[in-house]
Amino acid sequence: MGYDYLALKSLTLRGSVAGFGNQIGVGKESNICTVGDEEGNPLCLKLHRLGRVCFRNVKEKRDYHGKRHKMSWLYLSRISATREYAYMKALYDRGFPVPRPVDFNRHCVIMELVDGYSLTNVAEVGNF
């Protein structure tokens, strides 16, 4: 909770976040909430949470740590967020249909909130 506060405080001081909304998703790697910027635009906040019980083997499956044998889950979450932001920015800048990356700090990534449907609520998909 303290690490969340530090990240949100930094994002607030930079003007990336001005208001906090509802939690819209929880997964094995992250929590996702709605936030608003200073102009009132809706954004999405993703808080990376590596190290949960169901995701303990991240150290073997990801190359975040290089040759290090000891690392904290906060450190791994920070690296995960940094990489996600970098990849999302690279894809967005090249015209790929990804949410617009706004900012990141520590284990948090701010991105454009995309209105859509969860695939669990879609019964049939037509041809495009």
pLDDT reported for residue 57: 58
Give the residue, 15 or 57, on which the prediction is more confident. 15
Looking at residues 62-74, what average pLDDT do you find? 67
pLDDT reported for residue 100: 98
Structural domains in the chain plus CATH codes:
2-117 (3.30.200.20)
Q: How far apart are CA 32 and CA 72, in angstroms?
A: 22
pLDDT reported for residue 11: 97
Please determine, for residue 8, whether its predicted confidence score (pLDDT) is greater than 70: yes
Residue 28 φ/ψ region, left for φ over 0, alpha for ψ in the -120 to 50 degree band, beta for the rest = alpha
| Cα–Cα–Cα angle for 92, 97, 101, rounded to 5 degrees | 40
pLDDT reported for residue 54: 46
* pLDDT tens readout for residues 16-59: 999 999 999 998 889 999 999 999 999 999 999 987 554 455 55
The residues, any chain, with a CB within 8 Å of residue 30's CB and separated by 6 or more, are: 46, 47, 48, 49
Buried b / exposed e along 15-50 (16+ C-beta atoms within 10 A): ebbeeeeeeeeeeebbbbbebebeeeeebbbbbbbb
Q: How far apart are CA 41 and CA 38, in angstroms?
A: 7
